[in-house]
A = this chain, B = another copy of it.
Amino acid sequence: MTETTVSPQATTTTPAIVPEGATALVEKHRDALADATAALEARSFHSRYNESPSPKVHGEDAAPNGLKAHEGHLGQQFSSLGDQPTTGQWVGGEKSPYGPELGVTYPQLDVDAALEAATAAAKAWRNAGPEARAAVCVEIIDRINARGFEMAQAVMHTSGQPFVMAFQAGGPHAQDRALEAVTVALAEQRKVPESVVWEKPAKGEPIRMQKDYRVVGRGVGLVIGCNTFPTWNAYPGIFASLATANPVVIKPHPQAILPLAITVEVAREVLVEAGFDAALVQLAPEETGGTLAKDLALHPAVKIIDYTGGPGFGGWLETEAAAAGKLVYTEKAGLNSVVVDSFSDLRAATGNLAFSFSLYSGQMCTAPQNVYVKASGINTPDGELTAEEFATSLGKAITAFNKEDAKAVEILGATVNDDVRARANDFAGLAERLGGQPVLEPREVEHPKFPDAVVRTPGIILLDSDKRDAYSQECFGPVVFVIKTDSTDESLQIVTDTVQEHGAMTMAVYSTDEGVLADSREAAADAGVALSENLMGQIFVNQTAAFSDFHGTGANPAANAAYADAAFISNRFRVVTTRRHV
C-alpha cells in the first residue's frame, strides 16, 4: 500500500531579483493592474486616464503650462535622452501640418552601440519578473499622462490632428491602449506558474519533480511609428515588448518625432528611478528619406518589429523581415466599408457618418471610405431613397456639420501631407480619373489661428459597382466613395471580397432588417473585419475602446495583429523550464 505523503511546497530556484525602486512601484500599482485585469476579462469599459481636457479636471494652468513646455522644445536640441549612444549628429526637420517648422533636433542614435547596450540591459529586466516589469510600465504611462497638455501640442503639431483629438487620442486613449498591452502581457505571463511540484503516480512513492518556469524575452523590440498617430499606434508595441522582458528601440516617423521623444524621455527616467538601465528604451530618430527602419529591422539583435504605416514598407517587413526570422506585427491600410440597406433614422445616421468622415479629415486608419448602397429602395421612415438621393443626403449632412470654419477646424484638423492635399485640391480630376461622379466637392476651410494649414471638408464621389479598380484603393484623407450596387446582397459580397483582398480595419452596416444584419455578421466573419451596426449616436465606427474593442482583427490584409489580444503578446516571450527531483 502506498503511504499517504505530504507533497513538498514549490519554491522557485530562480526567484525574481527586483530593485528597491521597482518593489515600491509593484505596491503602488497593484490596484491599478488588478482593475485593468478585471476589465480585460470582462471586456468592460475601463479608462485609467481622463479623456477630458477640461480645466475642471486638470486645473486652469495645465493647458497654458503644456503649451509653454511645447514652445520650450521649439528650435532647440532635445537633450533629455540621457546617455543614449549617439553619433554626435543632431537630426530633425519636423514641420507642423498647421504651418510652422518645429525646429527641434534629436541626437542620432549609434545603432550598434545602442543595440549592444539594450541587450546588456535586458538581463536584469528579465530577472526582475513580470510583476515588476508591469508596475514599471504603469509608472511610465502615468508619468506620460502627467505631461498630457505638452503631449497634446506635440501630437497636434506633428500629426495635424485638431487639439482636442490630439489631447485625447494622443494622450489618454493612447495611454489606455498602453495599459491594455501591459495588462494582457501580465495576464499572459501570470498564466505560467513560477514553480510547481509535479507528481507522477508510481509504484510506492510517486515520482516528484520541482519545475520552475521562467519568462525570457526574445531580443530587442523595434517599434516603427507613423505620422498620424505617433503615440496611439506606437504604444501597444512598445509596452507589449517591454512588459514581456524585451528592450525597445523606437524609430519615429521623421515628421512625428517629438511625441515619441517625450515618451522615451519619461520611460528612461522611470527605468533609472526603478533601478534599471535606461538603455531598455531608446529613440532612433531620422530625417525624411532615411533608411534607418530597414537597417534596424534587419539588425541581428532586433527580434520583434511593430509597424504602423503604408502598405509598401509594411509589405516589405511582412516578407523580408519575416523571412529573416523577426516577429512582425503590422498595421497598414485598407478599405473601410459601410453597407447601407435601410434606416430607422436617416438624419441621425448621416449625422453620425458625417462626423466619422470629417474627424481628422478621414486620416484615421479606421475612417470609413467606401459606402455601398443599393441603387434604389433604401427604406427610411420618410419613404424610399435612391443611391443618388442618399449620396445627396450624406453630402448635406457633411456640409451642415462643417458649416462654420472656426468649429470645423476643431474636428477636421489639418491635412498631413502632399498626397492628401493633392486629392482634396483636384477632386474633380480624381473623380474623372476614377470614372465617378462628384456629388460633393471638398470645401476649403480657413483656420483662424494657423493660416498656412490646409484644411478641407470631405468630398463624395459616386461610383458604379463595376468600377472596382477605382474603389479598391485606399484614398487616404477626405474622400468618400458612394458605390451603387444592385442589392444589399451584392454590397455584402463586394465587402467580403475586397476586404479579404485589400483589407479593412472597420465595417459598418445600416439596416432595419434583422435578416440583413445577420447576413452582415456572416460577411464580417468571412471578411475578418469588425462590424458596427446602426451607429446613430455618440459612438463612431472609427473609434475603438481599449479593454473592450479589439483594434483590427489580424484576419485581413489591413493588419496582421489586433490591439491587444493574446496573439499580439504571447510570442514576445518564451518560457524556460528547469526541473529536478524533490
Contacts and interface: CB of A to CB of B under 8 A. Distances in A.
Nearest to A209: B539
B548 A576 contact: no
A201 B45 contact: yes
A185 B42 CA distance: 19
A273 to B, nearest CB: 26
29 contacts: A13-B517, A42-B193, A43-B192, A43-B213, A44-B198, A44-B199, A192-B565, A207-B539, A213-B550, A216-B553, A218-B555, A318-B323, A325-B560, A524-B576, A528-B574, A528-B576, A530-B576, A530-B578, A531-B576, A533-B580, A534-B580, A537-B581, A550-B575, A550-B577, A554-B571, A565-B570, A566-B570, A567-B570, A567-B574
Contacts of A45: 198-201
A538 interface: yes
Report which residue of A126, A191, A201 has the largest number of chain B beta carbons within 10 angstroms of its beta carbon.
A191
A538 B579 CA distance: 13
A533 B126 contact: no
B539 A578 contact: no
A11 interface: no
Copies assembled: 2
Given A322-B323, A539-B209, A570-B567, A579 B549 contact: yes
A307 B455 CA distance: 53
A562 interface: yes
A interface, over-half SS: mixed
Given A198-B548, A323-B323, 15 more contacts: A43-B192, A43-B196, A43-B211, A123-B526, A126-B525, A207-B537, A207-B539, A209-B539, A214-B521, A216-B553, A528-B574, A533-B579, A553-B575, A555-B576, A570-B570
Interface string A532-566: 11111111000001001110011100001010011
Contacts of A14: 518, 521, 525
A562 B537 contact: no
A550 B526 CA distance: 34
A45 to B, nearest CB: 5
A212 B570 CA distance: 23
Contacts of A526: 123
Contacts of A577: 530-531, 549-550, 553
Given A43-B211, A581-B539, A525 B199 contact: no
Nearest to A40: B191
A65 B248 CA distance: 60
Nearest to A123: B526
Contacts of A579: 530-533, 539, 549
A325 B316 CA distance: 11
B535 A581 contact: yes
Closest 8 interchain pairs by CB?
A555-B574, A566-B570, A533-B580, A567-B571, A323-B323, A319-B323, A567-B570, A530-B577
B193 A525 contact: no
Interface residues of A, number: 74
Interface string A86-111: 00000000000000000000000000
A565 B575 contact: yes
Contacts of A201: 45
A202 interface: yes
Given A13-B517, A548-B211, A567-B571, A553 B525 contact: no
Report which residue of A41, A45, A521 has the largest number of chain B beta carbons within 10 angstroms of its beta carbon.
A45
A550 B207 CA distance: 18
A13 B196 contact: no
Contacts of A571: 554, 567, 571
B216 A578 contact: no
A103 to B, nearest CB: 40
Given A13-B517, A553-B576, A198 B528 contact: no
A42 B549 CA distance: 30
B578 A531 contact: yes
Nearest to A324: B319
A62 B144 CA distance: 68
Contacts of A216: 525, 528, 553, 555
A497 interface: no
A65 to B, nearest CB: 28
Contacts of A555: 216, 218, 574, 576
A539 B577 CA distance: 15
Contacts of A574: 528, 553-555, 562, 567
B533 A578 contact: yes
Contacts of A214: 521, 525
A188 interface: yes
Report which residue of A191, A325, A530, A577 has the largest number of chain B beta carbons within 10 angstroms of its beta carbon.
A577
A556 to B, nearest CB: 9
A529 interface: yes
Nearest to A199: B45
B576 A13 contact: no
A404 interface: no
A121 to B, nearest CB: 14
